[in-house]
């Protein structure tokens, strides 16, 4: 790929799900740096006693930097909440230009269960959050984007959604630390989201709305970091380790701001790989003053 010029995003309006922590939090802060007004969506408004990060904390950082943030507490498994997310964003800011479907179901007993022990309710919950919520939000937001001249949708996925190519494929390292690296409901729902993005891209393109899938990599989010720390994980030299949240965040910003999204719509990209391919340096990963605390 050849790197494109990035457009000015000042005054644009974004919805970011899963904005209390991890990639969602970081990209909300980085969008603010570009002059975007952000609707922050998650279930946690106040500090979680077990994990750092909340919508309130993200909003305070944005407002301290002179940006505008709207807090929308929502359960993405509830259809009524999904409509309310869009309605409240439009009521506060006047529209929607950017949708980042970042939230995912990443906690719960399903992450430590073998396939035969997963209940249908657990399976359905992952599909509700990881697939059905983006589906509904894209349907609600697209007409609003089109009426404003177009928009961008970024669907955050996972590389592990890819089917293993060989029976003897190496077991993901995460499995060794007490939680599954191959949770069926999570990866199946994310793979379905990849294909959904691919299939709807031509229809949305006709309305100047572009949908792009991004695999963030193994990210050092609060959830991942807490899990690994609780199990004493210390990567040895040469072993894989989680990457900074600023890497996928920077690539989301690029795809949101690139001058010609035609090249990317309907496709799936890998954050760290594409950052290197496009020649985006560490110095461009964000303003340290707006970096999400570790």
Residue 74 φ/ψ, nearest 5 degrees: -155, 150
Which residues lie closer than 8 Å to 292 by C-beta, 6 or more apart? 21, 22, 25, 26, 29, 53, 58, 61, 245
| Residue predicted with more confidence, 75 or 112 | 75
Identify whether 290 is part of a domain: no
Q: Mean of the per-residue pLDDT values for the chain?
A: 84
Give the integer Cα–Cα distance in Å for 82 and 123. 20
CATH number of domain containing 156: 3.40.50.720
What pLDDT, on a 0 to 100 scale, did the predictor assign at position 250? 93
173 Cβ neighbours under 8 A, 6+ residues apart = 181, 239, 240
Domain annotation covers residue 179 = yes
Q: What percent of the chain has pLDDT over 90?
A: 59
The pair of structure tokens assigned to 128 is: 């509700």
Average pLDDT over every residue of 27-41 = 96
Provide the pLDDT confidence category of residue 242 given band limits of 50, 70 and 90.
low
Residue closest to 20 by CA, chosen among 67, 66, 60, 56: 56
Q: Is the pLDDT of residue 141 over 60?
A: yes
Model pLDDT, residue 222: 58
Q: Contact, 45 vs 14, CB < 8 A? A: no
Count of domains forming the chain: 1
DSSP 8-state assignment for residue 3: P
Q: Is residue 6 part of a domain?
A: no
Average pLDDT over every residue of 158-170: 56
Residue 225 in 3-state DSSP? helix
In this predicted structure, the answer to whether residue 193 has a pLDDT above a threshold of 90 is: yes
Domain membership flag for residue 152: yes
Residue 65 within a domain: yes
185, pLDDT greater than 70:
yes
CA-only gyration radius of the chain, Å: 18
Structure tokens belonging to residue 189 = 């729902």
Q: Which residue range(s) make up the domain with 33?
A: 13-283
Give just the sign of the alpha carbon dihedral 84, 253, 218, 52.
negative
Q: Comparing 177 with 20, which gets the higher pLDDT? A: 20
Residue 291 maps to a domain: no
Task: Read off the pLDDT of residues 202-238 as tens digits, 9 standing for 90 and up.
Answer: 999 999 999 999 998 777 655 655 555 556 666 666 6
The pLDDT tens digits of the residues spanning 101-140 come to 999 876 667 777 888 999 999 999 999 999 999 999 999 9
116 lies in a domain?
A: yes
Q: Give 116's contacts (C-beta < 8 A, 6+ positions apart).
A: none
**Beta carbons of 100 and 69 less than 8 angstroms apart:** no
Comparing C-alpha atoms, which of 25, 193, 223 is closest to residue 108?
223
pLDDT band at 54 (very low <50, low <70, confident <90, very high): confident
Predicted structure pTM score = 0.86
């Amino acid at each position: 790929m050849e790197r494109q010029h990035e457009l000015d995003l000042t005054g644009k309006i974004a919805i970011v799900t899963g904005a209390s922590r991890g990639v969602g939090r970081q990209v909300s802060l980085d969008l603010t740096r570009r002059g975007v007004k952000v609707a922050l969506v998650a279930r946690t408004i106040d500090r979680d006693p077990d994990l750092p990060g909340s919508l309130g904390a993200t909003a305070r950082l944005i407002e301290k930097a002179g940006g505008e943030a709207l807090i929308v507490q929502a359960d993405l498994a509830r259809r009524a909440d999904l409509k309310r997310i869009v309605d409240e964003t439009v009521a506060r800011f006047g529209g929607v230009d950017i949708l980042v479907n970042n939230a995912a179901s990443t906690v719960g007993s399903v992450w430590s269960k073998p396939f035969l022990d997963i209940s249908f309710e657990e399976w359905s919950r992952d599909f509700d959050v990881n697939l059905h919520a983006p589906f509904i939000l894209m349907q609600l937001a697209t007409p609003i984007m089109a009426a404003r001249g177009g928009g961008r949708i970024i669907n955050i996925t996972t590389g592990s959604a890819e089917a293993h190519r060989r029976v003897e494929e190496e077991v993901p390292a995460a499995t060794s630390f007490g939680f599954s690296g191959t949770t069926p409901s999570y990866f199946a729902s994310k793979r379905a989201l990849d294909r959904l993005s691919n299939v709807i891209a031509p229809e949305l393109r006709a309305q100047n709305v572009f949908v792009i899938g991004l695999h963030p990599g193994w990210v050092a989010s609060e959830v991942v970091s807490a899990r690994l720390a609780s199990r004493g994980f210390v990567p040895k030299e040469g072993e894989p380790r989680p990457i900074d949240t600023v890497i996928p965040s920077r690539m989301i910003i690029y795809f949101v701001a690139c001058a010609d999204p035609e090249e990317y719509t309907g496709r799936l990209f890998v954050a760290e790989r594409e950052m290197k391919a496009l020649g985006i340096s560490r110095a461009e990963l964000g303003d340290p003053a707006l970096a999400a605390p570790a």
